[in-house]
Amino acid sequence: MAVDHEPSQEAMTIANNLKKARKSMGLTQEQVSIRPGIPVATLKKYEGGKQPPPGDRIGTLARALAVSADDLVLEESERKVSDELRAIFQR
């Protein structure tokens, strides 16, 4: 008997970030899937949180959506830099 597993938090973060990036560009799933040559059904699994994309596809999807890989795999709060670090980076 197959057991349905809840998607991991990481898979859901990636799913939400993929969908957000795609919609911010005004693209359909079909349009995004053509750029990196990913089947539409696979992209739908990624966006649905059913299957996280493998590491090599993160970069490909990020380039197709004109975002960084961090924008896809990290929650927004994890992408923010503290004021102290920002000052160090600016030096």
> Residue 82 pLDDT > 90, yes or no?
no
Full-model pTM: 0.75
Counting residues of the chain whose pLDDT is more than 90, the rounded percentage is 56
Give the model confidence (pLDDT) of 1-24 as tens digits.
444 556 677 778 999 999 999 999
Give the model confidence (pLDDT) of 29-54 as tens digits.
999 999 889 999 999 999 999 999 99
> Is residue 21 left, alpha or beta, with left meaning phi > 0 and alpha meaning psi from -120 to 50?
alpha
Are the beta carbons of 51 and 45 closer than 8 angstroms? yes
**Tell me, what's the pLDDT at 78?**
61
The model's confidence at residue 80, banded by pLDDT at 50, 70 and 90, is low
